[in-house]
Amino acid sequence: MAEGLSSFWGPVTSTNEWCEQNYVYSSYIAEFFNTFSNVPGIILAFIGLVNALRQRFEKRFSVLHVSNMVLAIGSMIYHATLRRMEQQGDETPMVWEMLLYIYILYSPDWQYRSTMPTFLFIYGVVFAIIHSQLLLGFIFKIHYALLCLLCIPRMYKYYLYTEDRSAKRLGRLYLITILVGSLCWLGDRLFCKDFSRWYFNPQGHALWHIFMSFNSYFANAFLMYCRAQQRGWDPKVAYFLGLMSRFKRQRPSNTCRLN
Ligand SMILES: [Zn+2]
């Protein structure tokens, strides 16, 4: 990871460095591709937010889209600076976001309505404090992966109960993007030396950002579809630009499968 231009942000203090040369295009941006590959995440989360507000979904979905935006902005700042504090500004919201997904996925079945958000809130605060003091490194990655895994059985249950083919397609796109994104992330970590010798570094970490931007979008759209069904809205997924989805709210019906 050779250094390029002089660094506006000072020496690298983050515990992670990625397979992209630092300060190649600007002295204000440490990792150019890893920084700007977060832009799709902001745009997609904004589209999701507009969708959620227009269709009058519960506030939790708006919060989810806003948290996706905050996460993408935090990631941009971190990759632009590669400083330890900004690294926490990237990593801590990643965990908060997963806690939000856990709440949305599991709360409809939770009998004691206030206990789950209270527990998750306290968990998020305690994690933030511990992570700020210890910067958990490898443990952070394992912990984050476990939180992701916690969501999958419930997502799979929703997928099994969904009959609509367009909605099922959202579920499959969610799975494909997380798998391909994870392979890009791993490739960037494991084969950096080889990639660095190539004429053009494939920028696996930047690709991970892009795939995960779509992954969050598909996950949120799928969850919104399931929620709309639970509420008896008889939703239909309408696609535009090939991949993007929006909902058509139809006559009320009682097709609710979960909850
Ligand atoms: Zn990143």
CA of 175 to the centre of ligand 1 (A): 20
Please indicate, yes or no, if residue 201 is contained in any of the structural domains: yes
pLDDT tens by residue, 128-138: 898 888 866 78
Please indicate, yes or no, if residue 179 is contained in any of the structural domains: yes
CA of 202 to the centre of ligand 1 (A): 15
- Render the burial of 115-139: b for 16+ CB within 10 Å, e for the rest: ebeeebeeebeebbeebeeeebeee
CA of 123 to the centre of ligand 1 (A): 23
Helices (H), 59-114: 59-81, 84-106
CA of 79 to the centre of ligand 1 (A): 7
Tell me if 209 is assigned to a ligand binding site. Answer: yes
CA of 186 to the centre of ligand 1 (A): 12
Between these two residues, 236 and 222, which has the higher pLDDT value?
222
CA of 191 to the centre of ligand 1 (A): 17
Tell me if 22 is assigned to a ligand binding site. Answer: yes
CA of 151 to the centre of ligand 1 (A): 21
Please indicate, yes or no, if residue 259 is contained in any of the structural domains: no
pLDDT tens by residue, 184-228: 999 988 988 887 788 888 888 999 999 999 999 999 989 988 888
pTM score of the predicted model:
0.83
Domain tally, the chain: 1
Q: Please give the torsion angle defined by the CA atoms of residues 176, 182, 184 and 186, in that order, rounded to the nearest 10 degrees.
A: -150
Question: Do 64 and 101 meet the contact criterion of CB atoms below 8 Å apart?
Answer: yes
| β 236-240/244-248 pair status | antiparallel
Cβ count within 10 A of residue 42: 18
Please indicate, yes or no, if residue 74 is contained in any of the structural domains: yes
Tell me if 205 is assigned to a ligand binding site. Answer: yes
* Backbone phi and psi for residue 55, each to the nearest 5 degrees, phi listed first: -90, 5
Tell me if 233 is assigned to a ligand binding site. Answer: no
Between these two residues, 114 and 83, which has the higher pLDDT value?
83
CA of 75 to the centre of ligand 1 (A): 6
Nearest to 94 by CA among 77, 75, 120, 66: 75
Question: Do 86 and 78 meet the contact criterion of CB atoms below 8 Å apart?
Answer: yes
Please indicate, yes or no, if residue 3 is contained in any of the structural domains: no
d(CA 123, CA 102): 12
Please indicate, yes or no, if residue 16 is contained in any of the structural domains: no
Please indicate, yes or no, if residue 86 is contained in any of the structural domains: yes
Give bridge partners of residue 244 from the DSSP assignment: 240
Please indicate, yes or no, if residue 175 is contained in any of the structural domains: yes
Tell me if 31 is assigned to a ligand binding site. Answer: yes
Name the one residue in this structure whose structure tokens are 């929006």. Answer: 246
Please give the residue range of the domain that contains residue 87. 32-248
CATH number, domain of 78, equals 1.20.1070.10
**3-class state of residue 37 by DSSP:** coil
- Which residues have C-beta within 8 Å of that of residue 103, sequence separation ≥ 6? 60, 116, 117, 120
